[in-house]
Structure 1
């Protein structure tokens, strides 16, 4: 007991000693590895021009974005969206600071007024329907006290409003400095007004086979050294993989089909309570269809009436033609075996109509600022009814100009609907009158002019659906197959493809994966595979099995490319065609030296061709294609002058100017100046940001956290 007491008395001391020892171990490990910066990066998701981006702040924004995107969005999608936004905001904020641009708190109300979602909310409007500053300020003050979480959301929205205002001001300042001189306006005019006619001879690059030319590694390296920025690359990985799909075997499919077929007929079951056999009705004869479906189907009973086009396309004709009480199937549809029973038919049960709504003060969903009386609304709807009944009047046009609901933009078209989809007065009119009828209906929303445009029959089918899925035995067999391949490929990693071929598996590739990528060709979203490919411990040739939603993936890392200048072998596919084209140009130029156009044509068995009405704006040189350099050269020559060899996009050319039509000067080029300025202004925001982004030093640590 004395020993235990001593341990208790010294427990705090021991904990401190152990804690300090562990801390010292971590610090020494970091220093020993030269990785002291890891302490910093553990809380930093990135840097932009030396300014750090907090991972905690980033996570909150990513989670909020995930919620806004909805359940179908992936974490990586949200992360990438937030990352691009954070980088953009940080770069621009740094620019704002340089020029002293700020938005003061007292300007926020004015900014809020420009936000329709807030300014048009009835809770912030006065009796006249106008935004009330005092109501808004009072609401925010109450929010701060009553709902701190909601207030925090508002402060985030407030920051976004301020940020957007800064960006708009910044880009407006840039746009204000953009203009076009009269000389530039004249140049724009001449690009489309000046015209030239030429005769030309072309020696196409295709006349020399690529195989006759050789490009060395040193030539590619020399080309790259002059254009280093063009060949900077991110860290990338290539993988190859096989996919073992967890799908039903032929035996599984037959079993599901047999089981659902048995449900069609009555069956006999022994009843232990009565010590006798009971006859269980089948789907064809059962009276309580809903209970029978819910007992035997993987998809719950659905009483909805449907049109023929809503039925499975391959079976639609047969299903729609069934008599009430008749059964069809089994049939395969969308991964299920199904049997269906016709339970009801409803002629003209689906209708399509268009309407024009005229609301009045106090009507449901009417604009709070609307002052029109019910009597005035009735007078207007009666007037419009007379108008739309005229043969020459287009109902859709009148609806677009007068209707006061969301369907106005579609010419009042509401699409197809059934009786229960609409309020009773509206539905009663549509389903109580024939196609082509036009009349007035009053509902809680106001007065409607309704035009019935189409009707369709609908049917009600009870359907039992049983999913076609792999049985437990099949799943076990597939797992064994995947494991067998993984073990064989790991042991003999150099023969991954041959092993797959021997096991009748297809090998697929996914090249140039980036560290933050998520999607893999043929597999969809598979973030874990990308993370494995980029892990420090994953070596070239390594193999790993992954469980995915519908099977197994056995992947192999086939290539690691680190950040920096691309290797010659990686750049070759891009550079080699350029250098081959340059060599061809030199060879073709030599064929033209000291020769006339006709001599060149005769020696190379080509024709001297003509092209007329060429402009700098549209430099299309007949069937030779787009050749801006050739056409530009033509405008630099005098009439009847002949050029030397011109290296074009599709070949080497020699041209002679046969006619040069210089358009007359204009008294004013203001129209051209205005168009050019508009073009500059429209491009300014994107162009400026892209330039800032390219010049920025950005450190991206997303892959460490996601």
Structure 2
């Protein structure tokens, strides 16, 4: 109410502001679309020279988002459609380049399988019929909006089917190139079944304390640059922000408490409590009965002792002040058993008759007259007339339902009348002929009229919050952001690694506006801007920006790189401290013992007590019995190994079973081909400009 009154008072200013905003939008749009920018605005992406139309793409996104339901986000839908369109485009480019086509016979065969269960394309025996398909296509030539729309859908369906066929043909050709030999099968057999026994010395990296090995930023940077593919990241930005929330001050809360206290006497004496609530309250009057457990926990014990006309409050619930007046008290059951016959307005599929509202009421009155004179006919009439499928099989009956389960008119009749009563009520479903068959657990209920006032920030408070936010923004632009925050008793909250297509910011929520601002070309590191986010002003500062793909920063990569470089340095130190030429001498020089490991294989290179060490086990398989390896830098330490025994698996007559392992792996080729094509594709992605 307070907000609505504020809007009414300042209507002319809002009209002016909206008009200026629309004008700015139109001018901005015209400027943006002028000159050479039009192509980018109309193109979601360019993939190896092929443009994806903005209109088509966003149409698919909207349709898919609707199919996901009300809780879905544009980001979710866009991600799915992007992957689908990117895959189709890359695959189709390969198909076109190779000149792969399909025959009409192949299309017909695919359609016969895809449409076999659709009654539209089945003959009288339930089998797919090409004649039915031809007849369907002819029916689409009718000059009606429905036929034209259906024809376009059919054309699109055929095109998608053709694309699917040729792309599957392409993938089949690629899979056909994956041929595994018996030699590869034998090699796999050896990897899994040849075994060795070893003795070894393991000098763990943990022998040297981490703090004794210093890794410099320069070393981390050099490693990142030497391994760019491992550390490349998409365009991203970092921000930090503070926020000013528009919330009611203590003065605002007390003023609202005074407002509602001043209403108490007037509310108590008002003859038309329903109109009073609808006029004065922020929530409309709710005409229903309340059981004790339906009321707020903080008031139910008190208000349930009140008599009609008594007013309880003011009391606070969440962010509201309330006055509740008990307007009626009675006894009522907590559950009811009833049966009904529903006569809908319009077509009734039970008796196949279409009725107007008046005709439906006349029918309901006639049925009521019959069942009042002979209740035994009720179930018969349910079968003949009711359109309620939920109760039809049970004679129109609903067993012991609680107060809030049924639509209002049905609920009120069955709970407020007595057992055995019969009558007619109208709901949005039609006319119900109802018999109340039973009521249980009579207890006290009250009908309450409640005046609710939302606790909101006053105009003065809103202006004060706006002013403080604006002053912070101005000061942060001219000075040091963190110092200004400290002077205002605020702690900036960092949000790092924000991608160009991200939608949600931790602590802020879904906000593409801030993300789009951070990625604008003219926005630089250190820039500050204030944003309206619901009832909060967010003042954000851009703290890092990579507009193109780039390498991770030292800070980001440290968690990966430091352990690698540290272990390399530890390995060098260990090697320098090792002495001796045999296992026992090496072990003695490092104060460790010689250990043994049995039945090691190359397919599972795990050494008990040491961990997974593929390089160490691989080196051991390259030695003969009795031979020693050199020192080996493993995953978990430095090793020296001596082979005790080599147990070759017996020769097989046929290695086809192991060849099939490679053949089975080729089944994952579909996703592998797509990922490979995507990796080498030239993709200009403009999606961020459209949402």
TM-score (norm 2): 0.67
Deviations 1:445-502 (A, max 9, x none): xxxxxxxxxxx9999998969586533344444333322322221221xx32232233
Distance, in Å, in 1 between the alignment partners of 2:656 and 2:635 is 34
Matched, 1:146 2:141: no
Q: Show the counterpart of 2:44.
A: 45
Q: 1:134 aligns with which of 128, 131, 135?
A: 131
Q: Residues 703 and 641 (structure 1 numbering): CA distance in 2 closer, same or farther, change over 3 Å? A: same
Aligned to 2:477: 490
The 8 Å contact of residues 530 and 538 in structure 2, kept in 1 or not, is answered as yes
- Per the alignment, in what secondary structure is the counterpart of residue 266 of structure 2? strand
- 1:21-40 maps to which residues of 2 (within 5 A)? 38=37, 40=39
Q: Distance in 1 between matches of 2:690 and 2:517?
A: 14
- Whole-Å separation in 1 of the counterparts to 2:485 and 2:442: 52
2:608 maps to 622
Q: Which residue in 1 is equivalent to 2:199?
A: 199
In structure 2, the CA distance between the partners of 1:503 and 1:641, relative to structure 1 (3 Å rule), is same
Cα 1:294–1:462 shift into 2, 3 Å: farther
CA distance in 2 between partners of 1:593 and 1:302 (Å): 92
Secondary structure in structure 2 of the residue aligned to 1:167: helix
Residues 1:121 and 2:89 are matched in the alignment: no
Task: Say whether residues 1:591 and 2:577 are aligned partners.
Answer: yes
1:699 partner SS:
strand
- CA 1:571/1:549 → structure 2, altered by over 3 Å: closer, same or farther? closer
Equivalence for 1:548? 533
Match of 2:378 in 1: none
Contact 1:200 1:610 survives alignment (8 Å)? yes
Q: Distance in 1 between matches of 2:334 and 2:688?
A: 58
What is the 5 A alignment of 1:90-101?
Answer: 90-101=89-100
**1:168 aligned to 2:168?**
yes
Alpha-carbon distance in structure 1 between the residues aligned to 2:539 and 2:215: 38
Structure 2: distance between partners of 1:540 and 1:64: 38
**Residue 606 of structure 2: SS of its match in structure 1?**
coil
Residue of structure 2 equivalent to 1:680: 666
Task: Give 1:478's aligned residue.
Answer: 465
Quote the Cα distance in structure 1 between the aligned partners of 2:101 and 2:442. Answer: 62
> Matched residues in 1 for 2:127 and 2:307: separation?
61
Q: Does 1:425 align with 2:393?
A: yes
Q: CA deviation at 1:240?
A: 0.7
1:694 shift after superposition: 0.7
Q: Please, which of 644, 667, 675 is the counterpart of residue 630 of structure 2?
A: 644
Query: In the alignment, is the contact (CA less than 8 A) between 1:231 and 1:571 conserved in 2?
Result: no
C-alpha distance in 2, partners of 1:592/1:539? 54
> Following TM superposition, by how much is the alpha carbon of 1:238 offset from its aligned partner in structure 2, in angstroms?
1.4
Q: CA deviation at 1:617?
A: 3.0
What whole-Å deviation, never above 9, does each CA across 1:10-39 have from its counterpart, x for those lacking one? xxxxxxxxxxxxxxxx99x99xxxxx8646
Residue pair 1:240, 1:509 contacting (<8 A) in 2 also: yes
Q: Are the structure 2 counterparts of residues 99 and 484 from structure 1 closer, same or farther at C-alpha, using a change threshold of 3 Å?
A: same
Distance (Å, rounded) in 2 between the aligned partners of 1:82 and 1:173: 26
Work out the CA distance in 2 between the residues paired with 1:186 and 1:323: 88
Shift of 1:251: 6.4
Query: How far apart are the structure 2 equivalents of 1:489 and 1:663?
Result: 73
What is the match of residue 390 of structure 1? none
**1:669 paired to 2:655:** yes
1:190 positional shift: 3.6
- Confirm or deny: 8 A CA contact 1:185 1:673 kept in the other structure: yes
Decide whether aligned partners of structure 1 residues 427 and 298 sit closer, same or farther in structure 2, where only a CA change above 3 A counts: farther
The equivalent of 2:594 in structure 1 is 608
CA distance in 1, matches of 2:632, 2:212: 22
Aligned in 2, Cα 1:648/1:233: closer, same or farther, shift over 3 Å? Answer: same
Asked if 2 retains the 8 angstrom alpha-carbon contact of 1:196 and 1:635, the reply is yes
- Aligned mates of 1:507, 1:647 — CA distance in 2: 45
Q: Give distance in 1, aligned partners of 2:592 and 2:285.
A: 74
Q: Could you tell me which residue of structure 2 aligns to residue 236 of structure 1?
A: 236
* TM-score when normalising by structure 1: 0.66
Partner of 2:158: 158
Q: How far is the alpha carbon of 1:225 from its aligned partner?
A: 5.0
Counterpart residue number, 2:269: 279
SS at 1:560 equivalent: strand
Rounded to whole Å, the distance in 1 between the matches of 2:98 and 2:540 is: 52
Q: Does structure 2 conserve the Cα–Cα contact (< 8 Å) formed by 1:348 and 1:457?
A: no
Match of 1:443 in 2: none
Pick closer, same or farther for the CA change 1:104–1:555 going to 2, 3 Å.
farther
Over 3 Å counting, the alpha-carbon distance change for 1:244 and 1:593 in structure 2 is farther
Is residue 252–residue 468 contact of structure 1 (8 Å, CA) maintained in 2?
no
Unaligned regions of 5+ residues in structure 2, if any?
1-30, 339-348, 352-387, 401-439
Rounded Cα–Cα distance in structure 2 between residues aligned with 1:496 and 1:431: 66
Shift of 1:88: 1.8
1:628 CA drift (Å): 2.0
Aligned to 1:110: 109
Deviation at 1:69, TM superposition (A): 3.7
Give the conservation status (yes or no) of the 8 Å contact 2:200–2:640: yes
User: Which segments of 5 or more consecutive residues in structure 1 lack a partner in the other structure?
Assistant: 1-25, 31-35, 271-277, 351-361, 365-419, 433-455
Q: Distance in 2 between matches of 1:325 and 1:85?
A: 66
1:697 is matched with which residue?
Answer: 682
Distance 1:180 1:485, change over 3 A: same
Q: CA deviation at 1:701?
A: 2.5
Q: What is the distance in 1 between the residues matched to 2:644 and 2:464?
A: 78
Q: Is the 8 A contact 1:488 1:499 kept in 2?
A: yes
CA distance in 1, matches of 2:194, 2:442: 66
Cα distance change of structure 1 residues 661 and 70 upon mapping to structure 2, 3 Å threshold: same
Change (3 A) 1:142 1:662: same
Q: 1:640 to 1:238 in 2, by over 3 A?
A: same
CA distance in 1, matches of 2:289, 2:153: 41
Displacement of 1:154 = 3.4
Mean Cα deviation higher: 597-606 or 530-539 = 597-606
For 2:662 and 2:643, the matched residues in 1 are separated by 29
Distance 2:119 2:307 in 1: 54
CA contact (8 A) 1:592 1:645 kept: no
Distance 1:209 1:363, change over 3 A: farther
Q: Aligned pair in 2 of structure 1 residues 541, 268: CA closer, same or farther (>3 Å)?
A: same
Contact persistence 2:321–2:455 (CA under 8 A): no
